Amino acid sequence: MFTFVSTHHALKAEKVLLEAAVKSAIIPVPRRISSLCGLAIKMDAELAPLAQEVMRGAGVQIEEVHRF
C-alpha cells in the first residue's frame, strides 16, 4: 500500500497506474496508518516495484510504502 503527500498525488497515482495497466485500487487510508492524505493505493505486493517506478516517473510524490 502506498500513501501520498496530498490527495492530488493519490489521484495522479491512480491515473498513471491505470494508464500503465498496473492493477491497483484507491482506498481510504486505514486508521492505524498516519498520512498527510486520506487516500492510499493498494495492490498485490509483487506489483509494488513496478508501480513505484511508474509513479515516480510521472512525478507522483509517495509518502510511504506499507507492506502487509
pLDDT digits (tens, 9 = 90+) for 10-46: 999 999 999 999 999 999 998 888 767 899 999 999 9
Nine-digit cell at 26? 484507491
Phi, psi angles (nearest 5°) of residue 48 = -60, -45
Identify residue 61 by its one-letter amino acid code: Q
Q: What's the pLDDT at 21?
A: 97
